[in-house]
Amino acid sequence: MLTKRIIHKIDLEKYEENLNYIRKITDAKIMVVVKANAYGHGMVKISKKSEELGIDFFGVAFLEEAEELRKNDIKSDILILNYIAEENIIKVSQSDYIITLYSLEQLEKYNEILGKKLKNIKFHININTGMNRLGINIDELEKLKKYNINIEGAYSHFSNAGNDEEITEKQYQIFQKSVRKLKKMGFNIRIKHISNSAGVFQNKKYSLDYVRVGMALYGLQPLNYKLDLKPIMTIKTIVSNIRNIKKGENIGYGKNISNKNVKISIIPIGYSDGYLMSLSKKGYVLIDGKKCNIVGEVCMEQIIVDISKLKNVSIGDEVVILGQQKLAEITPEILGKLANTVPDDIVCKLGQKR
């Protein structure tokens, strides 16, 4: 018996099309970023499909994600991009995970714990080129000499690729200078990567050994103009109730008095399902291929939409929250703009219960 009121569908054929499209843009190998459950799209499913398509490197945020991939028989290299707690570093040193070196303080702590076994860890050093989040500054690199460490790769992260060419180029030059310095110090930097999704499309020279791609693979637009990328997430539900509201009656929470007679439909999805509260009175759904605006506030597991202009709506009819219906489409970019957020936020939230 089907009891789910919300259906999430991930189109792996479109995912493959997006991957092939990106492969035509860059000569670099692709590191598929599957952090945050592959941006809500299902980390294990995306990773397995990626390996079938020849991907040999994945990026995750945290140790738990790397462990989940290994438990599900993902064999490719895994780079942990974020923080690893000190109490886990012994376990990591006994694994094949590649971890990010992002500060001298972090390295000193790991050295205190592991001693000579620090050499067992494969690091990718994160160079701070202007993002000022994680990363070691170029003038700190000399201090790495005293450690017996294996730095296999180096990377950085563009802060505004696709929007500010001057800043992006400056970051790229700082990164290249840092890599040259590391090599002069005797480190064998085999793998270099700096491009995110936006960087891939901004300038081909930024595609070094690998490019780290997340959002573009999932069909999200990384630039301020449309690329031939296809969203792979569709979310559907149903009409759960229909009511006729008279002028002067309230709709939903708070004081939300209708200024006219209106026919409404109740849709069983809300902010507990990742549908943002900020879409109250701004968002819309598709019913019978028609746009139906949200009236009132987004509730915990329900929204209310205006169906006055629709002729035939019945309880149980299909409702599209994200995706296509007939000739109409709701994209992550549309919902992101309405909610004053980024499309990544939309899919991460809506995909959280997958």
Catalytic residues: 35, 253
Listed in order, strand segments (DSSP E) in the chain are: 7-10, 29-33, 57-60, 77-80, 98-101, 122-126, 150-155, 191-193, 210-213, 233-238, 241-245, 262-267, 284-287, 290-293, 303-306, 318-325, 328-330
Closest CA to 79 of 219, 209, 229, 223: 209
Helix 43-52, helix 63-71: angle, nearest 10: 60
Q: Where are the alpha helices (DSSP H) in the chain?
A: 12-25, 35-40, 43-52, 63-71, 89-93, 104-114, 165-184, 197-202, 332-339, 343-350
Q: What is the dihedral of CA 60, 191, 161, 346, to 10 degrees?
A: -10
Cα–Cα distance between 170 and 20 in angstroms, integer?
A: 29
d(CA 107, CA 81): 15
How many whole angstroms separate alpha carbon 254 and alpha carbon 196?
43
